[in-house]
Homo-oligomer: A and B are copies of this chain.
Amino acid sequence: MQKLLLSFLFVCIISSKGIYAQNEHAFKVKDFYEYSLDHGQCHQWLQYLSDSIGGRLAGSQNALDAVDYTFEVLASMPGVDTVYKQECTVPRWERGAKEFVEIIYGGTSLALNALSLGNSIGTGDKGIQAPVIEVFGLDTLELLGRKNIEGKIVFFNRPMSQTRINTGYAYGEAVDQRVHGASRASKYGAVAVLVRSMTTKHDDLPHTGVQSYQEGVEPIPSIAISTNDANKLHNALESYPVEAYVRNYARLLPDTISYNVVAEIRGTTHADEIILVGGHLDSWDVGGGAHDDGSGCVHSMQVFANFSAIDYKPKRTLRCVLFMNEENGLGGGKKYAEESNRKGEFHLAAIESDSGGFTPRGFTCTATAEVFPKYLANLQEFSEFLDPYDLYLKPGGGGADIGPLKSQNGLLIGFKPDGQRYFDFHHTAADVYKNVNERELKLGAASITSLVYLIDQFGL
């Protein structure tokens, strides 16, 4: 009987200790939320990055200013062991003077809201005037053949689907026109391309973004027009033969040097297991790169600030990495992984925030097939801590900058804020500080901090 009673007491002690331990983690998560919401500085940092510095195209002075600024902020945080700039090679593309695009039809002409796409060449002062032919996909080019395309301006007008709930998915379905349209059309003799902006919104804002010339194909100017203007051009083509005149001054200069910014808090007991949080410092040149991806940078910095504020000594090594050149070649992400592999490092987890500063919805994750099932099973343990904040954890993409780390067999995690308004701003002049809500941004930082904390405490 006494033995039974002792066993019972023992079980009670163990259980209550278990509950106490679980509560301790729940309280810590709550602390991170409260600190972020009450004292988080991420919104002010974003104001500096986005309004004071502005657009931060890799290779530009603005991008270097952003490197210096974020380096200083991270270096000023107590408890951060190391901050350094990691050199990487980046392309240098310049938009040059404002683009001019007009369409001429039925005895009238109409100027369109236009932006050269990243890496596009320019027409120079003379510009190019040619008849317009509309297509809805890359494969249509082959059907039309050289006889229909040669000497023309190809207008890619497949809209992003309105009905995909996941707007990122809709973007993925439509963006091939923007990335590969120019090269594919050039093969059949096109002289330039116009591309419908990548957004579900109907407005006058043109959206830029990367486009890529295939080697061995003659590069031709590649320009985005707003969705409203794409609809106008479509309507004009229904009734008239339409010519377009395009003039732009974009040019690609020789590669140059820029930097990732890396900060580190060394782990106390498992220093060789790295947990990375990161976003990308560079942005397109128009707007202020506020959602894309100033938000991801200040999220990541706020994670470090949260740990710094409570003097948290992580078991594992925490890294905050602000990548350079995500938009235009992934120079920084590739360099970071290369250096990491060279040193034989192991990233147990890498969390990328590159989907804007909106209300957090959760995290998606991926890994190599051999380790993913184990990670997925272990992640179940975190649900009880994340459920109160309505955060999901499910399979899905990690992110472009952390992608090259996959071969280290850690877990790659994408932070997923609500995506419904992301493509209202993405790569436009409207991607500015005032369009990022302070509470939503701070909640994002708190969510990521919580996940980093749980991985540090429980492992994977």
Contacts and interface: CB of A to CB of B under 8 A. Distances in A.
B165 A33 contact: yes
Nearest to A440: B420
Interface in A362-378: 362
A439 B163 contact: no
A392 B163 CA distance: 21
A228 to B, nearest CB: 14
A165 B390 CA distance: 10
Contacts of A37: 162-163
A346 interface: no
A38 B165 CA distance: 12
A421 interface: yes
A34 B362 CA distance: 24
B439 A421 contact: yes
A144 to B, nearest CB: 28
Chain copies in complex: 2
A390 B420 CA distance: 13
A437 interface: yes
A201 B442 CA distance: 13
A389 interface: yes
Contacts of A167: 439
A162 B38 contact: yes
Interface centre among A34, A37, A439 (most CB of B within 10 A): A439
Contacts of A163: 33-34, 37-38
A150 interface: no
A195 interface: no
Interface in A121-141: none
Interface in A171-190: none
A37 B37 CA distance: 33
A437 B165 CA distance: 14
Interface string A332-353: 0000000000000000000000
A359 interface: yes
Contact of A390 (B201, B388, B389, B392): B392
Interface string A391-428: 01000000000000000000000000010110010000
A420 B392 contact: no
Contacts of A361: 390
Given A163-B33, A165-B443, A420 B359 contact: yes
A321 to B, nearest CB: 27
A200 interface: yes
Contacts of A34: 163
A441 to B, nearest CB: 10
A329 to B, nearest CB: 31
A395 to B, nearest CB: 14
12 contacts: A34-B163, A37-B162, A37-B163, A38-B162, A38-B163, A162-B439, A165-B443, A201-B438, A390-B392, A420-B437, A420-B440, A420-B443
Interface of A: 33-34, 37-38, 162-163, 165, 167, 200-201, 359, 361-362, 388-390, 392, 418, 420-421, 424, 437-440, 443
Q: List the 7 shortest-distance A-B pairs measured between CB atoms, nearest first.
A: A34-B163, A37-B163, A37-B162, A420-B439, A359-B418, A359-B420, A420-B440
Given A38-B163, A167-B439, A359-B420, 10 more contacts: A33-B165, A34-B163, A162-B439, A165-B388, A165-B389, A359-B359, A420-B439, A420-B440, A420-B443, A421-B439
